[in-house]
Chains A and B, each alone.
Chain A
Amino acid sequence: MTVRVIEKNCIACGLCVQACPFEALEVKGDVAVVDPDKCTNCGDCVEICPADALALDEPPKEMTKKEIKSVEDNEAAAKEIKKELKEYNGIWIFIEQMDGKPAPVSWELLGEGARLAKQIDTELVGVLIGDKVASLAGEAFSYGADKVYLVENPLLKNYVTEPYTKVLVNLCKKYKPEIFLFGATSLGRDIAGAVATQLQTGLTADCTELTVDESSRYLMQTRPAFGGNIMATIVCRHRRPQMATVRPRVMSMPERQDGRTGEIIREDMDLKQEEILTRIIEVIEEKGSAVYLDKAEIIVAAGRGIGSKTNLKVIEELSEVLGGTVAASRAAVEAGWFEHTYQVGQTGVTVRPKVYFAVGISGAIQHLVGMQTSDVIVAINNDPDAPIFKFATFGIVGDYATVVPALTGEFKKRLNEEGLR
């Protein structure tokens, strides 16, 4: 008795091949093919098939002793893999730091990790590596870590891919985490790709939502794909750890619990200077308020609709009266009105301010994915059909050149009146 392939429905997507615990399915040409010697009729593939191309409805037949034995062997083999996976425990969060300054996404991930750890009843571990960074372990505990693996070494002072990768790979091999999460920062994405490849496991980039399936303990990793046009949920079934990078400012910051403590486990790593082929010559801090875009509480963003660079003044004036930061859509950057560092969206920065003013921005999906978690979105656009109005908390249909100065004037008046600034 095997699963049946309804060939006319099959789109050869291959999801069943990966879902099958017994490796009984294969895509040959344009259709899925079942290996009857391996199939146990478990139905995992039927569940996953998006095209209704697999069915279990064949009438059951008597199995010969040989067949029963082969099914049992296969089930045993499948359990064997699962047993191997069972050795992996704990949710690990990479505590990203530069010069001892932690990246806030690390704490966001501890908050998210705590929720996941509770669901599958496992421990939440911070992984902290660097030089003289031990004090951050206390921070990790106050944001929810139960345990911190700490590796300190002068060669880890500045982030360099090679030694950092070596340390994380060795820790993973020794302690076998079930899930390992990184911030989707340039550092996090640099190291996660290297570590996952060395461990030969799956890695999902730039996730915006994580859940766990309690029975299978699969980490369901959701991320935007195709430039944010669709969302995809990715799963890594047969290898561990399940690794993901998570976009900053998408998960909420957990409440700090002062005085909360945990266990610090120090690990020594044998690192040699001569094995490191990369050396940092200089770190240059960038100037300009764009640096703070991702931390800004109020953002006034301009799009193609403002027409020209000279019109930026009204945007800047509104931003100034609110103590905010200016930003831009991709169109405004490509028009040459702004540097790329000011760009909000899929290929720019993701922001989560309290208020986001979108001025002359139509609201392409690529822009929306970078700002839609803002608390309040205000859209000002002369096109009443602009998609941005579907996302805005408040919208004004009109010419920005009159509406924005009116807003600036009104804010000036009211904020002065109330003595708030």
Chain B
Amino acid sequence: MHIVVCVKQVPDTTEVRVDPETNTLIREGVPSIINPYDAHAVEAAVSLKEKYGGKVTVISMGPPQAEEVMRRSIAIGADEGILLSDRNFAGSDTLATSYILAQGIQRVSDKEPVDLVLCGKQAIDGDTAQVGPGIAVRLNIPQLTYVMEIEEVDLESKEIIVHRKLEDKKVRVACRFPALLTVVRDINEIRYSSLPDLIKSARYKPKLWTQKELGLDLQQIGLKGSPTSVSKIFAPPQRSEGEIIPGGQDNPNEAAKVLVQKLLSTKIIANK
């Protein structure tokens, strides 16, 4: 089976800090990484390939330096990487991004029909979880979001059985493919790369496709093709500073007594 995985290069948001003076993001020194959920999607695709045979193609939209996430994917075991990169893509929101990626996947599929498209459940910089469903709609294939387990693939009947993770339940779903899956972290542990994969990845150069090669409609990409725009950016609101109850170190029993009294007097605990 032929599996396409969508990956994104993101700033490691756990390393992003905000300048308290200017309320702007401090981007310097923030490492770029493969979106962690996407790495799990690559791992899932490679595992499927090992079990059922086939090929894993990784696709990404981003600046030229996003090549790095292609190499990371190759190191996990992907076979081929395609980078969709063009100045005209800049400023694309989720609607425009899903158009660009879907067109890229369509082009891949025209040469080698695609059975499954895998994405991470969301990217950690945008946290929208909208591009996956957007691609599925544009490719006119079913979508299965928040997949935590791929139970079975039946290549004969072209049916896949997965477990989807919802807030307080799991749902076991069967679906005809081609289909698009978005995966959560529970789906797998990412392997340590084999030496051959590491060597291959270090030298790997992905294919580069631009707007012209993909024949994309300029009205549907970049800022023009993006219905949403940012009108304001600001620092998150701070809660007002509270009260420190003294004695935590020298006399914890007394501190506990004071705190319990305060909490009980607000009635919120007593009311329970």
Q: How far is the CA of A348 from the CA of B262 in the complex (A)?
A: 30
Q: Does B17 contact A (CB under 8 A)?
A: yes
Contact A396/B245 with A281-B173, A369-B236, A409-B256 known, Cβ cut-off 8 Å: yes
CB distance from B158 to the nearest CB of A (A): 10
**Complex interface residues of chain B between 127 and 152 (CB less than 8 A to chain A):** 127-134, 136-138, 142-146
Contact A15 B229 (CB under 8 A): yes
Closest residue on chain A to residue B236 by CB atoms = A231
A403 lies within 8 A of B125 (CB): no
Among listed A112-120, A130-138, A187-195, interface-contacting one: A187-195
A396–B175 touching, CB < 8 Å: no
The segment out of A144-152, A284-292, A307-315 that lies at the interface is A284-292
The proximity string for A residues 144-170 relative to B, scoring 1 for CB distances below 8 Å and 0 otherwise, is 000000000000000001100100000
Contact B245 A394 (CB under 8 A): yes
CB distance from A343 to the nearest CB of B (A): 11
CB of A366 within 8 A of chain B?
yes
Give A228-239 as 1s and 0s: 1 = Cβ < 8 Å from B's Cβ atoms: 111111111111
Knowing A278-B142, A346-B127, A347-B124 are in contact, say whether A284-B169 is a contact too (CB < 8 A): yes
User: Cβ of B239: which chain A residues have Cβ within 8 Å of it?
Assistant: 372, 377, 390-391
**Complex: A283 Cα to B272 Cα, angstroms:** 32
For the complex of A and B, 6 pairs with smallest distance between CB atoms? A398-B248, A227-B13, A193-B133, A202-B227, A406-B256, A202-B228
Is A122 an interface position by the 8 A CB rule? no
Rounded to whole angstroms, the CA-CA distance of A211 and B94 in the bound complex is 22
B166 within 8 A of A: yes
Q: Are A193 and B248 in contact (CB under 8 A)?
A: no
- The interface on chain B, measured as residues whose beta carbon lies within 8 A of the other chain's beta carbons, has a size of 92
**A contacts with B, residue count (CB < 8 A):** 102
| A280/B142 in contact, CB under 8 A | no
Verify A389–B244 contact, CB threshold 8 A.
Answer: yes
> Which residues of B are in contact with A by a Cβ distance under 8 Å?
11, 13-14, 16-18, 23, 25, 90-91, 93-95, 98, 124-134, 136-138, 142-146, 161, 163-176, 179, 185-186, 223-224, 226-239, 241-245, 247-249, 252-253, 255-257, 259-264, 266, 268-272
B266 to chain A, nearest CB (A): 7
Cβ–Cβ contact B179 & A277, under 8 A? yes
A50-72 CB contacts (< 8 Å) to partner B: 50
- The chain B residue with its CB closest to the CB of A406 is B256
Q: Are A226 and B242 in contact (CB under 8 A)?
A: no
Query: Is A253 an interface position by the 8 A CB rule?
Result: no
Tell which of A194, A279, A393 touches B143, judged by Cβ atoms closer than 8 Å: A194
Residue of B176, B226, B263 touching A355 (CB-CB under 8 A): B263
Give A51 Cβ to nearest chain B Cβ, in Å: 12
Inter-chain CA distance A239–B271, complex, in Å, is: 48
Asked if residues B235 and A230 are in contact (CB atoms below 8 Å), the reply is yes
B18 touches A284 (CB 8 A): no
Q: Among A235, A389, A390, A410, which residue has its beta carbon within 8 angstroms of that of B231?
A: A235
Residues of A within 8 A of B252 (CB): 396, 398-399, 402-403, 406
B94 to chain A, nearest CB (A): 7
In the assembled complex, A9 has its CB within 8 A of some CB on chain B: no
Tell me the complex Cα distance, A117–B238, Å: 29
Inter-chain pairs besides A397-B249, A415-B270, 12 sampled, C-beta below 8 Å: A202-B95, A205-B126, A229-B17, A233-B230, A283-B169, A284-B171, A284-B172, A365-B236, A396-B252, A410-B257, A411-B269, A414-B264
**Contact (Cβ within 8 A) B16 A229:** yes
Shortest C-beta distance, B8 to chain A (Å), equals 14
Minimum distance in angstroms from A329 CB to a CB of chain B? 12
A196 surroundings in chain B (CB, below 8 A): 95, 130, 134
A396 touches B255 (CB 8 A): yes
Residue of B nearest to A376 (CB): B268
Residue of A nearest to B18 (CB): A229
Please name the residue on chain A nearest to B166 by beta carbon.
A186
Q: Hey, which chain B residues are within 8 Å of A409, CB to CB?
A: 253, 256
- The listed residue (A187, A280, A389, A411) touching B260 by CB distance below 8 A is A411
Near B by CB (< 8 A), chain A positions 186-233 give 186-187, 189-190, 192-194, 196-198, 200-206, 220, 224-233
In the assembled complex, the Cα of A389 lies from the Cα of B165 at a distance in Å of 34
Q: Quick one: given A227-B125, A376-B266, are A286 and B17 in contact (CB under 8 Å)?
A: no
Q: Is A406 in contact with B186, judged by CB distance below 8 angstroms? A: no
Q: Judge if A75 is at the interface, Cβ distance under 8 Å.
A: no
